[in-house]
Amino acid sequence: MKTKTIIDKLWDVHRVQSMSATTDLLYIDRIFLHERTGSIALRGLEQAQRKIRRPESVFVTMDHIVDTKPGRGDSTTMPGGEAFILATRESARKAGIALFDIGDPRQGIVHVVSPEQGIALPGLTLVCPDSHTGTIGGLGALAWGIGSTEAEHALATQTLIVRRPQQTRVTFSGQLRQDLNAKDLILHLIGRYGASGGIGHAIEFSGPATRQLSVESRLTLCNMAVEFGAWTGLVAPDDTTFDYVAGRPYAPQGVQWEKAVKAWRQLATDDEAVFDRELEVDISSLGPQVTWGTSPEQVISIDGSIPLISSSTDTAVREAAQRAMVYMGVEAGQKLAGLEIDVAFIGSCTNARLSDLRQAAAVLKDRRVAPNIKALCVPGSSAVKRAAEDEGLDKIFKQAGFEWRESGCSMCFFAGGESFGTGKRIISSTNRNFEGRQGPGARTHLASPATVAASAVLGRIGHSGDL
C-alpha cells in the first residue's frame, strides 16, 4: 500500500518497539557531540558508570568554545572554556570515540562536518545535543536536537523514546532568484507563519524550488526548521543528494553504495500520502530577507518597512514587537535598508559552507568594507576553509577587509569571551537574533551571506543591487 510520507518511512525503519500510543523507541544510527553539551553528556555517563553502547557510531568535534583566531590552541577567551575542551578530549579518549580535535583536518561545526565526512547519510537517524541538528535533514535523514540527558540515553542505549510528530509539507513553488540563498527562503517561511508555526511537527520541504536547491542549500533550509518551532525538517534525497554523498570518507562504497542508493530512492513520500498540514509558498517574487527584531519571525524583505505594531491583532505579538523595537533601536514604519551597522559576520552552521562563502566573495570581489566596520568570516569547517583557500576566496575576503578565521561557531553566540562590544549592530549570516545572543545589548540582523557582504561594503544594511 503506497500511503507513507518520507517521515513515516524513516520512522518505521527505525522503530525498535512501541512504548505508548504516542511514543516509540527509535534506533539511533549516529550520535554527534560537541564540547559544549557533549562534554556534560559524556561526564554524566561516566558518573553513572554507564558504557557507550556503540562507540563506533559516536563522533565528537570541537566547535562551540574553541577559539577561531589563527594559531589557536586549547586556551580560549571564554571564561572556563578550556575546561570544556579538556574534559571533552579526556572523555572521548576514555570512551574510545572519534574526536575531530583542534588541528584535525576534519574539525569544524558539527552540522557542517557530519555531511562533509559522510557520517550523516540519507535515511539515517542522527542526534546531537544541539538544537540545529535538524540541518542534517537536508540529506534526507531524520535528525533532531536533544538535551544532554537525552544524549546520555542515546549513548547508553543507541535508542531514544520519541513522540510521533505531526507532519507538515511545505511546498516551495516558483524559482528562487539567483542572488538569493536558502536562508531567504526559510526566513520568509518563519516570518509568514511565526517562530512557533512548526511546533510539534516534522516538516518535509518539497516542491520544485526545493528540488532545485543544492545539498548545501538544503542543509541551510533545514538548519532553521528549529527556528520555525519544528521538531525537525527534511528534504527527500534524490540524485543531487547521492552525487553529494558519493565518495565521502565515511560513506558506503562499492556494492554497499549501490544497495544504499537503491534503498534511499524508496524514501520519497508516496503520491497518496496525507500530511496533517500542507503549506504552499510561492517564492518567485521573494527578495532578500533581513530580521528587524529579536525573534526570527520578526523579518521583512530588505526593501520593506518594519511593520506597524497596531497591524497585529494579537496582544502578545504587539508587546513582543514593542520590546523588540526598543531593544533593537528601530521604529515601526522604518526602512531597514540604509540602517548603519558596526559589524558584519559570516559564519555558523546555517551559512558558512563553501557555496555560502562563494556567494559572499562574489559580492566582495574588488570591493572594500566600509570604514569602521568590523568584518569577520569564519568558515564552517576546516575542510571548507581549505577548499575556499584553494579557490582564492580567502584572498578576496582579506583584501576586502574581512578577518579570515579558523573554523568554529565563533560569534554566532557570545559566551563571555570574545565580543563585538556592547550594543553593536551586527548583520549576521547566523540563525538567532535573540536578545544578547551575540553580546550584551547586541543588535543582530539575520540575513544571507550575500546580504551580509553587501552590507559590509555599504556600511549599512543593503543588498548587492545597491552596490
Partner 1 sequence: MEPFTSITSVAAPLLRINVDTDAIIPSREMKRVSKEGLADGLFSGWRYLSITSREPNPEFILNQPPYDHAKILLTGRNFGCGSSREHAVWALKEWGIRAIIAPSFGSIFQLNCVRNGVLPVIADAETIEKIAGLVLSDPLTNRITVDLQNRLVRTPSFELSFDIAERERQMLLEGLDMIALTLKAESAIEAFEQTDHANRPWAYL
- Tell me whether residue 327 or residue 365 sits nearer to partner 1 (CB atom): 327
- Tell me whether residue 58 or residue 236 sits nearer to partner 1 (CB atom): 58
Q: How far is the CB of 80 from partner 1 (least distance, A)?
A: 4
Cβ proximity of 370 and 459 under 8 Å: yes
Question: What whole-number distance in Å separates Cα of residue 187 and Cα of residue 283?
Answer: 12
Q: How far is the CB of 93 from partner 1 (least distance, A)?
A: 15
**509539507: which residue's cell?**
169
Q: How far is the CB of 159 from partner 1 (least distance, A)?
A: 6
Cell numbers for 327, please give them: 531593544
- Tell me whether residue 122 or residue 449 sits nearer to partner 1 (CB atom): 122
Q: How far is the CB of 101 from partner 1 (least distance, A)?
A: 17
Picking from 436, 464, 440, 407, the residue whose alpha carbon sits closest to that of residue 66 is: 407
- Tell me whether residue 25 or residue 370 sits nearer to partner 1 (CB atom): 25
- Tell me whether residue 149 or residue 175 sits nearer to partner 1 (CB atom): 149
Q: How far is the CB of 318 from partner 1 (least distance, A)?
A: 10
How far is the first Cα of the chain from the last one, in angstroms, to the nearest whole number? 55
Q: How far is the CB of 224 from partner 1 (least distance, A)?
A: 11
Q: How far is the CB of 40 from partner 1 (least distance, A)?
A: 6
Neighbours of 232 (CB within 10 A): 23
Q: How far is the CB of 276 from partner 1 (least distance, A)?
A: 15
**313 Cβ neighbours under 8 A, 6+ residues apart:** none
- Tell me whether residue 80 or residue 105 sits nearer to partner 1 (CB atom): 80
- Tell me whether residue 385 or residue 425 sits nearer to partner 1 (CB atom): 425
- Tell me whether residue 231 or residue 420 sits nearer to partner 1 (CB atom): 231
Q: How far is the CB of 389 from partner 1 (least distance, A)?
A: 29
Q: How far is the CB of 282 from partner 1 (least distance, A)?
A: 26
Neighbours of 340 (CB within 10 A): 13
- Tell me whether residue 143 or residue 180 sits nearer to partner 1 (CB atom): 143
- Tell me whether residue 350 or residue 355 sits nearer to partner 1 (CB atom): 350
Q: How far is the CB of 281 from partner 1 (least distance, A)?
A: 21
- Tell me whether residue 130 or residue 204 sits nearer to partner 1 (CB atom): 130
> 3-state secondary structure string, the chain?
CCCCCHHHHHHHHHEEEECCCCEEEEECCEEEEECCCHHHHHHHHHHCCCCCCCHHHEEEECCCCCCCCCCCCCCCCCCCHHHHHHHHHHHHHHHCCEEECCCCCCCECHHHHHHHCCCCCCCCEEEECCHHHHHHHHHCCEEEECCHHHHHHHHHHCEEEEECCEEEEEEEECCCCCCCCHHHHHHHHHHHHCCCCCECEEEEEECHHHHCCCHHHHHHHHHCCHHHCECEEECCCCHHHHHHHCCCCCCCCHHHHHHHHHHHHCCCCCCCCCCCEEEEEECCCCCCEEECCCCCCCEEECCCECCCHHHCCCHHHHHHHHHHHHHHCCCCCCECCCCECCEEEECCCCCCCHHHHHHHHHHHCCCCCCCCCEEEECCCEHHHHHHHHHCCHHHHHHHHCCEECCCCCHHHCCCCCCCCCCCCEEEECCCCCCCCCCCCCCEEEECCHHHHHHHHHHCECCCHHHC
- Tell me whether residue 319 or residue 340 sits nearer to partner 1 (CB atom): 319
CA distances, 183 to each of 179, 231, 467 (Å): 11, 18, 21
Q: How far is the CB of 264 from partner 1 (least distance, A)?
A: 9
